[in-house]
Amino acid sequence: MRRNREELFEILVREHRLALLAFVRACVYDRGAAEDLVQETFLAAWEHLDEYDEDSPFARWLRGIARNKILAYYRAAATTAPP
C-alpha cells in the first residue's frame, strides 16, 4: 500500500514530536510557549516539505526550523519587554 504525503508526514510528526518538544523545552521554559513553538515548527515543516533534503536526517531539519522559531520567540519577547 502506498501512503500519501499527508500520511507520511503524520507518521513523522508522531515519531519526532516528543524529541522536538524536549529540544524546545530545553530552550523555552514556558510550557505553553514551547508547545506552540513545536506546533509552529511542524506547520513550517509541512509548508516547506518540498525543500527537505531526504539525504539528511529529518530530526536535524526539524531542529533547525525550531531553532529559528525559538530565536524569533526571544526576539519578539525582547521587543515587548517593559524597559
**With 90 as the cut, is the pLDDT of residue 80 above it?**
no
Query: Minimal CA–CA distance to 42: which of 73, 72, 11, 71?
Result: 11
19-31: average pLDDT: 97
Question: How confident is residue 79, by pLDDT bands cut at 50, 70 and 90?
Answer: confident
Quickly count: other Cβ atoms within 10 Å of residue 60's Cβ. 9
Kindly list the distances between the CA atom of residue 44 and the CA atoms of 10, 16, 52, 78, 80, in Å, as whole numbers in the listed order.
14, 15, 11, 23, 24
Q: For position 71, what pLDDT does the model report?
A: 97
Q: Mind listing the pLDDT tens digit for each residue in 47-65?
A: 999 998 989 999 999 999 9
Q: Which domain holds residue 51?
A: 16-80
Report yes or no on whether pTM surpasses 0.85.
yes
Provide the CATH number for the domain around residue 66: 1.10.1740.10
In a domain, 23, yes or no: yes
In a domain, 10, yes or no: no
| DSSP-based three-state secondary structure for 11 | helix
Q: For position 1, what pLDDT does the model report?
A: 58
